[in-house]
Structure 1
Amino acid sequence: MPYVNVKVTREGVTPAQKAEVVAGVTRLLAEVLGKDPATTFVVIDEVEPEDWGIGGLPVAEYRRLAAD
Protein backbone atom coordinates (compact mmCIF):
# COMPACT_ATOMS: atom_id res chain seq x y z
CA MET A 1 0.00 0.00 0.00
CA PRO A 2 2.22 2.83 -1.25
CA TYR A 3 1.69 6.37 -0.01
CA VAL A 4 3.26 9.21 -1.98
CA ASN A 5 3.17 12.82 -0.79
CA VAL A 6 3.82 15.42 -3.49
CA LYS A 7 4.44 18.97 -2.33
CA VAL A 8 4.23 21.92 -4.69
CA THR A 9 4.15 25.64 -4.17
CA ARG A 10 0.65 27.12 -4.26
CA GLU A 11 0.96 28.89 -7.58
CA GLY A 12 -1.99 28.01 -9.73
CA VAL A 13 -1.76 24.25 -10.11
CA THR A 14 -5.07 23.32 -11.68
CA PRO A 15 -7.31 20.40 -10.70
CA ALA A 16 -6.57 18.85 -14.11
CA GLN A 17 -2.83 19.06 -13.48
CA LYS A 18 -3.26 17.51 -10.05
CA ALA A 19 -5.29 14.66 -11.56
CA GLU A 20 -2.53 14.09 -14.09
CA VAL A 21 0.11 13.97 -11.34
CA VAL A 22 -1.97 11.47 -9.34
CA ALA A 23 -2.50 9.28 -12.40
CA GLY A 24 1.15 9.50 -13.44
CA VAL A 25 2.56 8.67 -10.00
CA THR A 26 0.13 5.78 -9.65
CA ARG A 27 1.04 4.45 -13.10
CA LEU A 28 4.77 4.76 -12.35
CA LEU A 29 4.50 2.76 -9.13
CA ALA A 30 2.50 0.08 -10.94
CA GLU A 31 4.99 -0.15 -13.80
CA VAL A 32 8.24 0.07 -11.83
CA LEU A 33 7.34 -1.60 -8.52
CA GLY A 34 4.34 -3.71 -9.51
CA LYS A 35 2.12 -1.91 -7.00
CA ASP A 36 -1.66 -2.23 -7.21
CA PRO A 37 -3.19 1.10 -8.30
CA ALA A 38 -6.28 0.34 -6.19
CA THR A 39 -4.18 0.53 -3.03
CA THR A 40 -1.84 3.37 -4.05
CA PHE A 41 -2.40 6.69 -2.29
CA VAL A 42 -1.15 9.98 -3.72
CA VAL A 43 -1.60 13.20 -1.74
CA ILE A 44 -0.77 16.62 -3.15
CA ASP A 45 -0.01 19.35 -0.63
CA GLU A 46 0.18 22.95 -1.77
CA VAL A 47 2.62 25.06 0.22
CA GLU A 48 2.67 28.84 0.24
CA PRO A 49 5.83 30.05 -1.54
CA GLU A 50 6.91 32.00 1.55
CA ASP A 51 6.90 28.69 3.46
CA TRP A 52 9.26 26.99 1.00
CA GLY A 53 13.03 27.26 0.91
CA ILE A 54 15.75 26.12 -1.47
CA GLY A 55 19.45 26.20 -0.71
CA GLY A 56 18.91 28.15 2.50
CA LEU A 57 16.84 30.85 0.80
CA PRO A 58 13.14 31.56 0.58
CA VAL A 59 11.90 30.37 -2.82
CA ALA A 60 11.21 33.93 -4.08
CA GLU A 61 14.78 35.03 -3.33
CA TYR A 62 16.22 31.82 -4.79
CA ARG A 63 14.27 32.37 -8.02
CA ARG A 64 15.31 36.02 -8.17
CA LEU A 65 18.98 35.12 -7.83
CA ALA A 66 18.68 32.26 -10.33
CA ALA A 67 17.17 34.64 -12.89
CA ASP A 68 20.09 37.09 -12.63
Structure 2
Amino acid sequence: MPYVHIRVTREGVTPTRKAELIAGATDLLVRVLGKTPATTVVVIDEVELENWGIGGLPVTEYRRRNPPPR
Protein backbone atom coordinates (compact mmCIF):
# COMPACT_ATOMS: atom_id res chain seq x y z
CA MET A 1 0.00 0.00 0.00
CA PRO A 2 1.76 3.19 -1.17
CA TYR A 3 1.62 6.17 1.16
CA VAL A 4 2.30 9.70 -0.07
CA HIS A 5 2.68 12.58 2.39
CA ILE A 6 2.47 16.06 0.90
CA ARG A 7 3.27 19.13 3.00
CA VAL A 8 2.45 22.60 1.76
CA THR A 9 2.41 25.99 3.40
CA ARG A 10 -1.01 27.08 4.57
CA GLU A 11 -1.75 29.66 1.91
CA GLY A 12 -5.23 28.99 0.69
CA VAL A 13 -4.83 25.65 -1.07
CA THR A 14 -8.39 25.04 -2.21
CA PRO A 15 -10.22 21.72 -1.93
CA THR A 16 -10.12 21.55 -5.73
CA ARG A 17 -6.34 21.88 -5.80
CA LYS A 18 -6.00 19.31 -3.01
CA ALA A 19 -8.09 16.90 -5.08
CA GLU A 20 -5.74 17.55 -8.02
CA LEU A 21 -2.71 16.79 -5.84
CA ILE A 22 -4.29 13.55 -4.61
CA ALA A 23 -5.23 12.46 -8.13
CA GLY A 24 -1.84 13.45 -9.54
CA ALA A 25 0.18 11.64 -6.88
CA THR A 26 -1.98 8.55 -7.29
CA ASP A 27 -1.66 8.65 -11.09
CA LEU A 28 2.12 9.00 -10.81
CA LEU A 29 2.40 5.88 -8.65
CA VAL A 30 0.13 3.96 -11.02
CA ARG A 31 2.09 5.06 -14.10
CA VAL A 32 5.63 4.73 -12.74
CA LEU A 33 5.36 1.83 -10.29
CA GLY A 34 2.20 0.03 -11.42
CA LYS A 35 0.51 0.57 -8.04
CA THR A 36 -3.21 0.07 -7.48
CA PRO A 37 -5.14 3.33 -6.99
CA ALA A 38 -7.56 1.70 -4.55
CA THR A 39 -4.75 1.03 -2.08
CA THR A 40 -2.81 4.27 -2.57
CA VAL A 41 -3.06 6.69 0.35
CA VAL A 42 -2.32 10.42 -0.02
CA VAL A 43 -2.22 12.76 2.99
CA ILE A 44 -1.91 16.55 2.68
CA ASP A 45 -0.68 18.59 5.64
CA GLU A 46 -0.85 22.37 5.64
CA VAL A 47 1.91 24.03 7.65
CA GLU A 48 1.75 27.57 9.00
CA LEU A 49 4.33 29.87 7.37
CA GLU A 50 6.06 30.55 10.70
CA ASN A 51 6.72 26.80 10.99
CA TRP A 52 8.42 26.48 7.59
CA GLY A 53 12.02 27.31 6.76
CA ILE A 54 14.25 27.12 3.70
CA GLY A 55 18.02 27.57 3.60
CA GLY A 56 18.22 28.49 7.27
CA LEU A 57 15.57 31.21 6.98
CA PRO A 58 11.87 31.47 7.75
CA VAL A 59 10.03 31.03 4.45
CA THR A 60 8.79 34.63 4.40
CA GLU A 61 12.37 35.95 4.68
CA TYR A 62 13.64 33.42 2.13
CA ARG A 63 10.99 34.53 -0.36
CA ARG A 64 11.81 38.19 0.26
CA ARG A 65 15.46 37.55 -0.53
CA ASN A 66 14.78 35.15 -3.42
CA PRO A 67 11.81 36.40 -5.44
CA PRO A 68 10.64 34.04 -8.19
CA PRO A 69 11.87 34.85 -11.70
CA ARG A 70 9.41 36.70 -13.88
Question: Do both share a fold (TM > 0.5)?
Answer: yes
Question: What TM-score comes out, normalization by structure 2 length?
Answer: 0.94
In the other structure, the counterpart of 2:48 is 48
**Identical counterparts, % of pairs:** 72
In the other structure, the counterpart of 1:37 is 37
List 4+ stretches of structure 1 deviating above 6 A: none
In the other structure, the counterpart of 2:15 is 15
The one-letter amino acid paired with 2:60 is: A
- Structure-2 separation of matches of 1:28 and 1:36: 11
- Specify every segment of 5 or more residues in structure 1 that has no aligned partner in the other structure, as ranges: none
- SS state at 2:5 partner: strand
- Structure-1 separation of matches of 2:66 and 2:28: 31
Higher helix share: 1
1:59 aligns with 2:48: no
- Structure-2 separation of matches of 1:23 and 1:3: 13
- Structure-2 separation of matches of 1:15 and 1:3: 20
Question: What TM-score comes out, normalization by structure 1 length?
Answer: 0.97
The one-letter amino acid paired with 1:33 is: L
Shift of 1:22: 0.1
